[in-house]
Amino acid sequence: MAMKTVVIISGSGSNLQALIDRANEIGIEISGVISNREEAFGLQRAQRAGITTALVDHRQFESRETFDAALSETIDGMQAQLVILAGFMRILTPEFTRRYEGRMLNIHPSLLPKYRGLHTHRRALEAGDEWHGATVHFVTEELDGGATIIQAPVAVSSADSEETLAAKVHAVEHRIYPLAAQWFAEGRLRLEQGVAYLDNAPLPVEGYQYHD
Ligand code: GAR
């Protein structure tokens, strides 16, 4: 049985697309896609794939708490076993993250713990880093701070701009997110007392290192 999965987005949804394209192969069924922005292109991607979509517009709520409550109601209505944040650009309340702890994943465009937050490609370039990349992690209360599952390093070249670096990072994101979702759907991945386990062995703090 495929694992019922809800994907939450704010924008383009290229990671969502990678999950849609490989859903059968990796054992997930995307039962819904939720966006906090009406104009998010990912909503069109979902509709094109025949997936139920919902808009929960954060601007229509007075507080993070009421927004998050509406978001959980929508997620739970879609009977999610796994919640995947894919370019969802809102900070979540502790109540929300606790509710889905151990079954909510996020992808972040940096080699965490480096560059939590925004503008990660620019910051890596400005720092002159040789390596940049992407991280899939369990979501906990700490922003971009939960246990790391997979990291994909990407070499930075002196010719890179923010755009070319972002494109390189996106390319590896589209490989590692479906892989992490597959591990979870197969029951191979779990979070226990803040540590990510793959096949019953604790993953290193920097996660499984993915290389092409
Ligand atoms: C991705 O690069 C993802 O890592 C990043 O947003 C992009 C979404 O792209 N997420 C964050 O910055 C979360 N803090 P997409 O909409 O094309 O999947």
Q: Give backbone dihedrals phi and psi of 105, rounded to 5 degrees, phi first.
A: -115, 155
What is the model's pLDDT at position 29? Answer: 98
82 and 50, same domain (yes or no): yes
82 and 17, same domain (yes or no): yes
71 and 162, same domain (yes or no): no
pLDDT in single tens digits along all 212 residues of the chain: 899 999 999 999 999 999 999 999 999 999 999 999 999 999 999 999 999 999 999 999 999 999 999 999 999 999 999 999 999 999 999 999 999 999 999 999 999 999 999 999 999 999 999 999 999 999 999 888 899 999 999 999 999 999 999 999 999 999 999 999 999 999 999 999 999 999 999 999 999 999 97
Question: Which of 144, 146, 137, 133 minimizes the C-alpha distance to 193?
Answer: 146
174 and 126, same domain (yes or no): yes
What is the model's pLDDT at position 100? Answer: 98
Give the integer Cα–Cα distance in Å for 25 and 125. 36
Task: Give residue 38's domain range.
Answer: 1-100
65 and 126, same domain (yes or no): no
Give the integer Cα–Cα distance in Å for 41 and 200. 38
2 and 93, same domain (yes or no): yes
Of 76, 100, 124, the one marking the end of a domain is: 100
* CATH number, domain with residue 111: 3.40.50.170
* H-only helix segments in 14-119: 14-26, 41-48, 64-77, 94-99
Q: Is the CB of 133 under 6 A from ligand 1?
A: no
Give the integer Cα–Cα distance in Å for 198 and 131. 25
The Å distance, Cα 86 to ligand 1 centre, comes to 6
Q: Is the CB of 17 under 6 A from ligand 1?
A: no
Q: Which residues are catalytic?
A: 108
What is the model's pLDDT at position 203? Answer: 98
32 and 96, same domain (yes or no): yes
124 and 90, same domain (yes or no): no
Q: Is the CB of 110 under 6 A from ligand 1?
A: no
CA distances for 200 relative to 28, 91, 94, 203, angstroms: 21, 31, 27, 9
> Taking a C-beta distance cutoff of 8 angstroms, is the pair 102, 81 a contact?
no
46 and 80, same domain (yes or no): yes
85 and 126, same domain (yes or no): no
The Å distance, Cα 87 to ligand 1 centre, comes to 3
Q: Is the CB of 11 under 6 A from ligand 1?
A: yes
**Integer Rg of the chain from CA:** 16
83 and 117, same domain (yes or no): no
What is the model's pLDDT at position 184? Answer: 98
Of 51, 74, 100, the one marking the end of a domain is: 100
Of 55, 72, 100, the one marking the end of a domain is: 100
What is the model's pLDDT at position 1? Answer: 86
What is the model's pLDDT at position 148? Answer: 98
95 and 133, same domain (yes or no): no
In this structure, the residue with its CA closest to atom 16 of ligand 1 is 13
Domain count within the chain: 2
- Report the nearest atom of ligand 1 relative to the CA of 41: 16
Report the amino acid identity of residue 212. Answer: D
- Report the nearest atom of ligand 1 relative to the CA of 166: 2
Side by side, the strands of the sheet bearing 195-198 are 189-192, 195-198, 201-202
Neighbours of 142 (CB within 10 A): 11
Q: Give backbone dihedrals phi and psi of 158, rounded to 5 degrees, phi first.
A: -65, -20
Question: Which of 143, 154, 132, 62 minimizes the C-alpha distance to 97?
Answer: 143
Neighbours of 107 (CB within 10 A): 23
